[in-house]
Amino acid sequence: MTTPMLSAAARLIGVLTAENAALLALDVPAAAALLEEKLAAARGLAQVSAGRPAARQTPELAGLALRLRDLAEENRRLLEHAILVQGRVLDMVARAARQGVAQSGGRYGAGGAAALDRGAMALHMRA
């Protein structure tokens, strides 16, 4: 494996490791901030390996391929979990907002907007 390929693979491993750590901590903004870097690292590895003859299988190459596969699988699983959690949070906020409107008895505030319950608004502001 060439040095540029090793460097490109190490870059992608680093980004996936950082994103997975952020996702594990449910730090979605930190994980989202790594998206462009992850895409660039993946493109970089693809470019370095494009058009090259298949490399002779070495223990180093096999280990690197397995590491990338495992990190990518963990990344997929953690992304799916983060999406599920975010969906639940949004559902909770939407329910609280609907409940606040229902509890307001159809009252309207200044400007014709529905008057929300202060508790529902506080929950909304924390989310």
Judge whether 89 and 127 are in contact, CB under 8 Å.
Answer: yes
Host domain of residue 57: 3-126
Residue 115 pLDDT greater than 70, yes or no: no
Domain count of the fold of the chain: 1
For the entire predicted model, the pTM comes to 0.70
Residues 6+ apart with CB under 8 A from 45: 5, 8, 9, 11, 12
Tell me: the pLDDT tens digits for 43-97?
999 998 887 666 666 788 788 889 999 999 999 999 999 999 989 999 999 988 8
